[in-house]
Structure 1
């Protein structure tokens, strides 16, 4: 991907995430005005066949303002990082993560709890960003993944069995979907030869790093 293509995709990723955040907050406003009837009607309830389609609506819904505020920052940051190399791929990833998170809750949640919230997407995007560089063999993305993993490792504490007050199953299912998405949507194309002064023997780590830096306009 050339520098101009990368910038164009990053711009599209920003507007896609801005649009998604706008939708989530507009839905929250309507939900609040209706005393959170939308969350009660379109959340994921385990074992309820009628609630199966709600795996696609539940990520847009929240239970209160604190709920949506806690999800919004990570959703935008991880979503942008997941989308900036390709919005079409990001759309497929979002669908996969929504399904993996929602279906995990639907199959395994106990007590008929009504589960909503974008945190499943947050964990899916996080998992995708952390390992994408390894599958794509992009050194810059690998470094981004390492930084994100080190900075936000605490998120994994709410994706383990028995975490009180949250749907840890939704978190775990979303994380699994993001890891799977990194493999399913990996870059299968051949690695191009770097240009000009950035060039080095084809296939060498130095060449790959220089190509990544060149794509980002850092050379």
Structure 2
């Protein structure tokens, strides 16, 4: 795939993350304003009713601190996703919600699992490993930035703090790695040098034209090529 399809700014780079974040805050505002509690619509593992949370849980948060800590990193990571991986960004987001949610439903404790943190771990994991697999300087730089900003999140994939769904985090991490492998063909490739291209021909190489067959540099090649070709003749002077 052409690099231009990846590294391209568009209104969707900002608009889509903003829309998603505003939707999450709107749901939270509705809960607070009208006294609802949507936690029961989260993922409840190993129950048929709890499957609805696979789709709904990313939009449900317990308190202001929970929603704040989720929406800020999601906004940053999703913007990076839509800028650097625009052709597959929606696939990563939508299938990330489904896969990480279903995996949480499979391995989670018997409790309601809510919040967008599972999707955030999908984005962190996908962005990091995708850059490593790509070997593209821009994507590697993005991977290093993600590690610098969110590397400490790896600890929350372990049961170290009560009340946090480490299963959802682990599910997101695994899903992100899987996506990085699955979408490997979609990785933007760095530009090849002339001699690395499939249609490379030494006879047409503008650099090699400056050297003769023995490897000696030909001076003033460009000037000689621009001079008109003149056929010189002479007549023998018999006087």
TM-score by length of 2: 0.73
Pair 1:49-2:43 in alignment: no
Q: Distance in 1 between matches of 2:177 and 2:98?
A: 13
Q: Are 1:19 and 2:13 counterparts? A: no
Distance 1:171 1:36, change over 3 A: farther
d(CA) in 2 for partners of 1:132, 1:58: 26
Question: Cα deviations across residues 121-150 of structure 1 (Å, max 9, x unaligned)?
Answer: 111101111111223332210121022113
**Larger Rg computed on CA atoms:** 2
Q: 8 Å contact 1:39–1:63 — kept in the other structure? A: yes
Give the number of aligned pairs: 196
Distance 2:111 2:35 in 1: 18
Deviation of 1:23 (Å): 1.0
Q: Specify every segment of 5 or more residues in structure 2 that has no aligned partner in the other structure, as ranges.
A: 198-239
State the Cα distance separating 1:159 from its structure 2 match. 1.0
Map of 1:184-203 to 2, 5 A cutoff? 184-188=182-186, 191=189, 193=191, 201-202=195-196
8 Å CA contact 2:6–2:86 kept in 1: the answer is no
Q: How does 1:140-155 map to 2 (within 5 A)?
A: 140-155=138-153
Query: What SS does structure 1 have at the residue aligned with 2:46?
Result: coil
What is the deviation of 1:168? 0.4
Asked if 2 retains the 8 angstrom alpha-carbon contact of 1:82 and 1:129, the reply is: yes
Q: Which runs of 5+ in 1 are unaligned?
A: 204-219
Name the residue aligned to 1:78. 77
More helix by share: 1
TM-score (norm 1): 0.79
- CA separation of 1:122 and 1:188: change in aligned 2, threshold 3 A: closer
| Partner secondary structure for residue 158 of structure 2 | coil
Deviations 1:64-90 (A, max 9, x none): 111101111111111111221344411
Which segments of structure 1 move beyond 6 Å, counting only runs of 4 or more?
none
Corresponding residue number in structure 2 for 1:28: 28
